Amino acid sequence: MLDLILASTHHLAVFILVALFAAEFALVRPGLSGPRLKQLTRIDAAYGAVAGIVIIVGIIRVIFGAVGYEYYIGNQAFWGKMTAFLVMGLLTIPPTMAFRRWARAGAEQADYAPPASEISANRRFIHLQAGVLLLIPIFAAAMARGYGG
């Protein structure tokens, strides 16, 4: 029963993470300003919190799940998945810093809109994240089928 609870919690957290990522993807575009800046910073904070939940539940699942940690530590697909998740996390840093900077500027100036060049630069990071995100379910599917071991 514990394995089912851990797996379900992990998968639900991942789906929420992807939904939050999609919301960021949709919001970061030319014309971003005002209430959307505040919304973006709240979504980004939730994105970080849910990523933390995914990591914590994932670690608990590796240690206490039915498969056993030995399966994971020796599985190349698992490490590919972890690497992809890490790369995604690193790619979130520049946009998160920009979102916070924009929110501060928006709090000081009601009609603030981030420069188009900054929006464009941060969209590139988000697009890169999207590409890396595609690898995670591929590695997960490979693991679930015994590949990488």
The C-alpha angle 92, 35, 49, rounded to 5 degrees, equals 35
The structure tokens listed for 31 are: 């014309």
The answer on pLDDT for 149 being more than 90 is no
pLDDT higher than 90, residue 110: no
Q: What angle do CA 104, 48, 41 make, to 5 degrees?
A: 25
Q: How far apart are CA 1 and CA 40, in angstroms?
A: 37
Q: What is the pLDDT of residues 136-145, one digit of tens each?
A: 999 999 999 9
Mean pLDDT, to the nearest integer, of 126-140? 97
